[in-house]
Structure 1
């Protein structure tokens, strides 16, 4: 496993560096590609195969960012040279200043998002590392779960009950095999006043889930489906 140290900040002349442009899910994807290169180097010695791996990793990462500037390309280019774990960790550490933190959320904004929750406690915001989040989730009253995601610059919120499944399965949000629970929410049926329950298995540990997400498609679909 590749571990990433927290960066103490940017070095050099800050005016020469691009602004943050990498979302958490994109950083996780880049981390996966770095891991593939390290694994390929450790298990194979075919230079041609390794060159193909490096080319594919470089191409996949660049596709995440359709309009890269030359400065941003320079930040990502070292990926293609990664061979050892230490090189991967150093590369990922130097990406830290370019990771976009999750949009600032406050207790007031959460109360507005869930107006029917009169005694909303909310998560411990001061304990969250917003650079490592694609969504925020927390539980109240042991089983009531709230989830907040961001789409098109605004917050989207859903809530429901989380029931432990006491087993491992594939999470609907991050698509990884982990310890999951059944998240169930009530949604309106066909625009009528009747409600139906929709359930999905998701990671019990949202911190692990956030570290696994390598794209926002499933998260957005999950929130959209439960808002209908």
Structure 2
């Protein structure tokens, strides 16, 4: 347990020593108030926890916590040459997506529970914790990955079928719209797309 807090503390210290918008604001506040950045962060964390317990709009704040920090480090992972951090944050977003879908159906019941948003926030923090056995890694390896590998072929077939039907429907709608525009002279028949449409469209039978 002590090792977890040590790693989290090291990650926060590294973040505070970086050059970004948040640390710039913290530096300015530190200069004006004389309060060290780490204490400002601890105070902000305490206020955030209290707001999650008693404040209005705790759901929005909780979602921001689960989105802003991972989004920032996901962008850094994309820009970095290594692949390990890419996998880490992709795993987080997979779990975040499953959690969001599940929460959509259960939120009407769960949000009435005491300390619901605190528990949700702690869960998201666990999923993004800078340790090898964080929540996203454990849930992906033990739940998501086995289910995906078991049903991968079926899921691929469903996705390909849906994609094919969607593309066919889009092509049919586009063809009908262009054909209507050509018939109504909204676009010129000399237009390349219109020529392709009229030549590919079926001809009506003639009666002698």
Which TM-score bucket, shorter chain as reference?
under 0.3
TM-score normalised by L of structure 2: 0.23
**Bigger fraction of residues in strand:** 1
Kindly indicate whether structure 1 or structure 2 has the higher relative contact order, using CA contacts under 8 Å at least 6 residues apart.
1
TM-score normalised by L of structure 1: 0.21
- The structure having more radius of gyration, on CA atoms, is 2
